[in-house]
Amino acid sequence: MCGIFACHRHPDVQKFKPTALKLAKQVRHRGPDWSGSVTCNNTILCHERLSIVGVESGAQPLTNADDSIVLAVNGEIYNHRLIRKHLTSPYPFKTHSDCEVIIPLYMEHDIDVPKHLDGMFSFVLYDKSQDRTIAARDPIGITTFYQGWSWKEPGAVYFASELKCLHPVCDKIVAFPPGHVFDSKTGKTTRYFNPSWWDPANVPSTPVDLKALRHALEKSVRKRLMAEVPYGVLLSGGLDSSLVASIAQRETLRLKKKAEEANGNADSADADRGEGLVGIDDDDNLSTATYLPKLNSFSIGLPGAPDNEAAVKVAKFLGTRHHVMTFTIEDGLNALSDVIYHLETYDVTTIRASTPMYLLSRKIKAMGIKMVLSGEGSDEIFGGYLYFHGAPDKKAFHEETVRRVKNLHYADCLRANKSTSAWGLEARVPFLDKEFLNTAMSIDPADKMITKDRIEKYILRKAFDTSDEPDTEPYLPEPILWRQKEQFSDGVGYGWIDALKDNAEHHVTDDMMKNPKPEWGTDIPDTKEAYWYRLMFDEHFPPRCASTVMRWTPTWSKQTDPSGRAIAIHQQKYNDAV
């Protein structure tokens, strides 16, 4: 992940430039590889780069031939090679960066640029000839992005990857809405992403096609292996991350074999060390250079955590080079304030799950890995959270999945993006691929519902169940493929959440609960743990930043604790398994 900061139409941009560079530095953790800035007229674009594709030539901001168009991007464009091949007019590319295609796309399609992009992204583009800025965010909000304004400069508009860049200079800040594009020419922000399933009233009626579902996820994972640096997979041992790891391992072995054949059966040890590069066929619509290490997988938990134990079994089955990290409760508690500073939220579920991910990301980056695949999004798409057991009918089930997907940028996307970016690591999420979403969200929700005979995410499990395909190697061991859902904050070890609650009791008194801060308005924490996180958030951010936070709560449940373990069905299923 990279970091961007931009300001359009500042009244004195030259005087503001030193401040802009300081603000951009606030997200240097996202892009430790290089820094760049461009000032045009009264607009400045700053960029902090993490190099994954076009490592040697992709420094940003990017410009066109006559420097009249300037671009700062955070993200990855998976179809960049196809876009290059199918541009209407020849374009003199300056770099091998996947992001540079946005400039010629803008020249050909104007504000419709993001409709043509397949990837995760947020960008700011400045057109000098029109004194015009457009900004956009990917359809689901995988990359974090914010917009702000200041009463001191009423004609100016600010953009940044994180809140910490904006709150020192902005009076009003919003989370830039996913699937939207802003145009300074009109001052409007409009939706460009309009799939049929986006309207929850359109309840699908198409029966599940298990083969199509499997192939869609496989294609999505293949896209996300686009890299020129070492990569790995986050492997909790749950269904979602295990499937992603399984597909990634199959593809890594396929590419390794292809590289050996292309190099005349070169030393396979070299390929294991990641010294070979290979192009993916254009037939696969993915042509790019891909680094080929032996696939590394990573898990984290307290000693004896359910996730680590399951992850080891999966890694052994797949043959990945697995790394188990254990952390102590003290490690987690000591990191909490830093986690909240990087996450920029006080949502209980997000903080619980992000802390182990934050600790693990530091270890991964220290090993030289710069990109990891992760399993976020599956539970929202397929209704995998345990509270979905309470869905009264398929219409309500579908409405809830749509609501959850729409709000991912406040929760799991934010967690995956910021927990990893805190250490200059990039997380890619195959389940939130546009094509895969269209396939999965167009399935009749009756097929997704949890019944007496169907565990949560049944159709996803069944799509990768090869027990009736004798010529197909199994993707996962059967106990993993059919393992009950554990929310990540539970799976790292139940003692983690218990410790958070216990410590909150020491930091927040009953009197404090009865007398919340007046500036919190109606957004009052309902538990001492939530109150504690809000206090830490306030240490880092002013009250106006709270408008960008949404607290995660389960539907069809009266519990105040959002943990999956707090739902009665979890204990029932656990007892059944024992």
Q: What does the H/E/C string look like for 275-320?
A: EEEEECCHHHCCCCEEEEECCEEEEEECCCCHHHHHHHHHHHHHCC
Per residue in 326-374, pLDDT (tens digit) is 999 999 999 999 999 999 999 999 999 999 999 999 999 999 999 999 9
At residue 512 the predicted structure's pLDDT band, cuts being 50, 70 and 90, is: very high
Both tokens of residue 106? Answer: 């803008």
Q: Is 415 inside any structural domain? A: yes
> So what's the pLDDT on residue 284?
46
Q: Rounded to whole angstroms, how far apart are CA atoms 21 and 313?
A: 47
CATH number for position 358: 3.40.50.620
Q: Is 432 inside any structural domain? A: yes
Q: Is 72 inside any structural domain? A: yes
168 pLDDT above the threshold of 80 = yes
Q: Is 330 inside any structural domain? A: yes
Per residue in 228-283, pLDDT (tens digit) is 888 999 999 999 999 999 999 999 888 888 777 777 655 555 544 444 443 444 44
Per residue in 448-497, pLDDT (tens digit) is 999 999 999 999 999 999 999 999 999 999 999 998 766 555 667 679 99
- The whole domain housing 98 covers 3-194
> So what's the pLDDT on residue 463?
98
Q: Rounded to whole angstroms, how far apart are CA atoms 72 and 360?
A: 29
DSSP state letters, 200-237? TTS---BPP-HHHHHHHHHHHHHHTT-BSS-EEEE--S
116 pLDDT above the threshold of 90 = yes
- Residues 149, 89 share a domain: yes
Which parts are annotated binding residues? 98, 234, 300, 374-375
- Residues 227, 181 share a domain: no
> So what's the pLDDT on residue 275?
43
- Residues 215, 73 share a domain: no
Kind of pairing between the strands at 153-160 and 3-8 = antiparallel
Which parts are annotated binding residues for ATP? 234, 300, 374-375
Q: Is 231 inside any structural domain? A: yes
> So what's the pLDDT on residue 571?
53
CATH number for position 184: 3.60.20.10
Q: Rounded to whole angstroms, how far apart are CA atoms 2 and 513?
A: 39
- Residues 145, 233 share a domain: no
Q: Is 522 inside any structural domain? A: no
Higher-scoring residue by pLDDT: 578, 517 = 517
Average pLDDT over residues 6-33: 97
Higher-scoring residue by pLDDT: 504, 570 = 504
Q: Is 566 inside any structural domain? A: no
Average pLDDT over residues 2-9: 97
- Angle subtended by helix axes 329-343 and 494-507, to nearest 10: 70
Q: How many Cβ atoms from other residues are within 10 Å of residue 167's Cβ?
A: 23
> So what's the pLDDT on residue 328?
95
Q: Give the total number of structural domains in the chain.
A: 2
What is the rounded average pLDDT for all residues in the chain? 91
> So what's the pLDDT on residue 271?
47
Per residue in 414-436, pLDDT (tens digit) is 999 999 999 999 999 999 999 99
* Block residue for tokens 């030539």: 57
- Residues 170, 30 share a domain: yes
> So what's the pLDDT on residue 307?
87
Burial class (CB in 10 A: 0-12, 13-18, 19+), 201: exposed
Residue 40, helix vs strand vs coil: strand
> So what's the pLDDT on residue 276?
43
Q: How many Cβ atoms from other residues are within 10 Å of residue 257's Cβ?
A: 14
Counting residues of the chain whose pLDDT is more than 70, the rounded percentage is: 89
| Residue 40 is a catalytic residue | no
> So what's the pLDDT on residue 259?
74
Instruction: Name the catalytic one among 2, 99, 170, 413.
Output: 2
- Residues 234, 119 share a domain: no
Average pLDDT over residues 177-199: 97
Average pLDDT over residues 522-546: 97
At residue 292 the predicted structure's pLDDT band, cuts being 50, 70 and 90, is: low
> So what's the pLDDT on residue 485?
65
- Residues 246, 132 share a domain: no
Higher-scoring residue by pLDDT: 58, 52 = 52
Long-range contacts of 185-189 (CB under 8 A, 24+ apart): 185/130, 185/132, 189/147
Record the pTM. 0.93
- Residues 186, 230 share a domain: no
Which parts are annotated binding residues for L-glutamine? 98
Looking at 134, 166, 194, the residue that finishes a domain is: 194
Reference 299, options 244, 360, 243; nearest CA is 360
Counting residues of the chain whose pLDDT is more than 90, the rounded percentage is: 81
> So what's the pLDDT on residue 572?
59
- Residues 326, 232 share a domain: yes
404 pLDDT above the threshold of 90 = yes
Q: Is 237 inside any structural domain? A: yes
- Residues 364, 243 share a domain: yes
Looking at 510, 532, 548, the residue that finishes a domain is: 510
- Residues 164, 273 share a domain: no
Looking at 510, 526, 542, the residue that finishes a domain is: 510
Per residue in 70-112, pLDDT (tens digit) is 999 999 999 999 999 999 999 999 999 999 999 999 999 999 9
- Residues 93, 181 share a domain: yes
